Structure 1
Amino acid sequence: MIAFLWTLLMVILIAGSVILVGKLRATRLDAKRKKWWVIFHVLFVIMYFTGVLGNFVLTLFTFYLKDRELIYAAHYFIKYFDYYLIVPGALGSLATGIWLAVGAWGITTHYWIIAKWVGNLMTIFFGSIFIGTWIEKAINALSLKELEPIYNPEYLHSQKMILTGSVLVLAILVFLTAISYLKPWGKRKVSQRR
């Protein structure tokens, strides 16, 4: 519950401040500025994608290990990837994506932008609420010296859930990348009131 509230607060602060500044500025991004913001956005997405991919590879790696110390080290790297790659990458891509939407396309004028909003928020909340909890449970279960990791049901469950969660987030990020490039849906039809 605390993870959800903390994440919600961060998302509201980031999204709210970017939208507020964008609306107060009320000018569109010119082509040069838009290109630079797209570069920053892509760099944050790469950071995010790399962290999630790293977590997936390390978790997959732990399925084939028997040495407790290597498994423990892998999970510490998973935790650090979460803190130093995934969280800043996700929040940075959210902030730069909102800024681009406000300054270039409009926040709710295109279906593909709305889909990116929803997908990014889903991965942020899913990661902070579930994957973060599974990482902590796995590390706590590994701290129990009386049970080997391959015989610890709590660790094995957390390990499988981290892997499944990483695959899900990777799939969503690939989908969001594809729709960013393809822009498959057009503009929303807005009814005009008289």
Structure 2
Amino acid sequence: MDLFIYGLIMFTVLLVITGITLLVAKFRKNRLKIKQKNWWLIIHMIFVVIYISGILGMFLLALLTKFTTDNNLVYASHIFIKRFDHFLVIPGAFGSFITGIWLAMRTHWGGLTKHYWVLAKWIGNIAAIIYGSTYVRIWIDNALATSGMHPLQNPAYLTDRQLLFIGIAICIVILFFLVIISYLKPWGKRITSQQLGNNQLMTQ
């Protein structure tokens, strides 16, 4: 499938997930109680840990293929990279995405667009998931397909492995950026046009 079409489908899926989560949260107007919020935070962090663990595991396995000459070990590493993607990265990414939206809507953060750091996390998660499900997924499949017979003597495999290594490294950078802004909560509250108009009226 064409990368653009696949990326567009994934973007649509993420928007639908966002819309459904927002709709459910809208009908539950009361904010989460402290105990409820803490439990949702724990669930969110579990998904984040699964997500990051999967990406780091993929990175270490890709790194291992650069320091071994055992063809069987190279092939096995790519098998496990694909398994990590299926059973850790994908569930972790979607789980943290959904629980993050739920927390943004049901706590004092007041939604996805009232604070810059929340908006940045939402957009960053969408970008990471789309990037991982298009380019990185293709590089995983290509590297696995070309790692079967004498991969270290196969120029196609070496190119696919290098692209996969770079792709996973970019994913790690994005995830650590999202973790950092979750902790620091930078940039403050977003000023809406209505608030800007009210401030101008007050200063006149």
With the shorter chain as reference, the TM-score category is over 0.9
SS in structure 2 at match of 1:142: coil
Q: Which residue matches 1:153?
A: 155
SS in structure 2 at match of 1:41: helix
Structure 1: stretches of 5+ with no match in the other structure: none
Q: Which residue matches 1:119?
A: 124
Q: Which residue matches 1:162?
A: 164
Q: 1:141 is aligned with what amino acid?
A: T
Q: Which residue matches 1:108?
A: 113
Structure 1 residue 74 displacement after superposition: 0.3
CA RMSD in angstroms, aligned pairs only: 1.5
Does residue 140 in structure 1 map to residue 142 in structure 2?
no
Greater shift, 24-33 or 63-72, is seen at 24-33
Structure 2: stretches of 5+ with no match in the other structure: 199-204
Aligned counterparts of 1:55 and 1:13: Cα–Cα separation in 2: 28
SS in structure 2 at match of 1:25: coil
Does residue 43 in structure 1 map to residue 30 in structure 2?
no
Instruction: Say if 2:54 and 2:88, in contact at 8 Å, map to a contact too.
Output: yes
Q: Which residue matches 1:57?
A: 60
Does residue 23 in structure 1 map to residue 54 in structure 2?
no
Does residue 185 in structure 1 map to residue 190 in structure 2?
no
TM-score by length of structure 1 reads: 0.93
Structure 1 residue 75 displacement after superposition: 0.2
Count of residue pairs brought into register by the alignment: 191
Deviations 1:146-177 (A, max 9, x none): xx211212211111111111111111111111
Deviations 1:44-69 (A, max 9, x none): 00000000000000000001111111
Does residue 76 in structure 1 map to residue 79 in structure 2?
yes
Deviations 1:77-127 (A, max 9, x none): 000000000000000000000001111112100000011011111110110
- 1:175 counterpart (165, 173, 177): 177
- Counting aligned pairs with the same residue, the percent is 46
Aligned counterparts of 2:53 and 2:17: Cα–Cα separation in 1: 22
- Highest Rg: 1 or 2? 2
Greater shift, 4-13 or 117-126, is seen at 4-13
Structure 1 residue 6 displacement after superposition: 4.8
Instruction: Write out the 4+ residue segments of structure 1 that deviate beyond 3 Å after TM superposition.
Output: none
